[in-house]
Amino acid sequence: MTGARRLPWALVLAGALLAGCGGGDGDDVGGEGGAPELSVTGAYLPEPVNPEVAGGFLTVRNAGGADDALVSVSSDLTGSVEMHETVDNAMRRVEELPIPAGGTLALERGGSHLMFVDLAEPPVEGDVVTVELRFEVSEPLTVEVPVESATHTGGENDHGDHGDHEGHEGHGEDGEAGEENSP
């Protein structure tokens, strides 16, 4: 099995790359291409159908030259905000969502999303939820997320250019089917 022989080398290489990225204590952050540069667009939260669980959607763009990742989320709506990905129509919790250098992390219906759970009180259309996004590298970003109608998809007030739909390959296949599929 040649694949098995190659794996240790891949791990060594990944480790070396991580060490190279992480050891930047003495470096000047902000040099060209040296740091992620994140911005958030298109955030919305559809009024939940299930009053205890709400999905949240947004796009994080990384215009910088280094990878980053969304590692945790909090909000004033609930103390429990999870990050979920969707594989084969089943969603599952993940510990982080990657935001590649020069790329985007798109949280959208049918894909990865934020999951607000254990809601004391369901949000209604017209509310605004304050969400704090925390990243592996970048400083946290606070986003005011409008609550839209339950059927809102975020598509209609986008000005074109919504064509890239990358980054869905490469997930494992196990998936815990049978959780609620609400968002």
How many other C-beta atoms can be found within 10 angstroms of the C-beta atom of residue 105?
Answer: 21
Out of 43, 69, 70, 84, name the contact with Cu ion by CB under 5 A: 84
- Indicate the residue among 65 and 182 with the shorter CB distance to Cu ion: 182
Out of 60, 91, 97, 129, name the contact with Cu ion by CB under 5 A: 91
In 3D space, the residue among 129, 107, 137 whose CA is nearest the CA of residue 38 turns out to be 137
- Indicate the residue among 66 and 91 with the shorter CB distance to Cu ion: 91
- Residue found under tokens 């992480």: 22
- Residue found under tokens 């004033």: 76
CB environment 109-137: b (16+ within 10 A), e (fewer) = eebbbbbbeebeebbeeeeebebebebeb
Give me the least distance between CB of 179 and Cu ion, in Å please. 7
Give me the least distance between CB of 9 and Cu ion, in Å please. 36
Give me the least distance between CB of 140 and Cu ion, in Å please. 22
Q: Based on DSSP, count helices (H) and strands (E) in the chain, helices before strands.
A: 1, 10
- Indicate the residue among 105 and 137 with the shorter CB distance to Cu ion: 105
- Indicate the residue among 65 and 98 with the shorter CB distance to Cu ion: 98
Residue type, 15: G
d(CA 27, CA 118): 42
| Residues near Cu ion (CB under 5 A), total | 3
CA triplet 80, 85, 88: central angle to 5 degrees?
135
Give me the least distance between CB of 23 and Cu ion, in Å please. 35
Q: Is 83 in the site for Cu ion (CB under 5 A)?
A: no
Instruction: Kindly list the residues in this chain that would bind Cu ion in the complex (CB under 5 A).
Output: 84, 91, 115
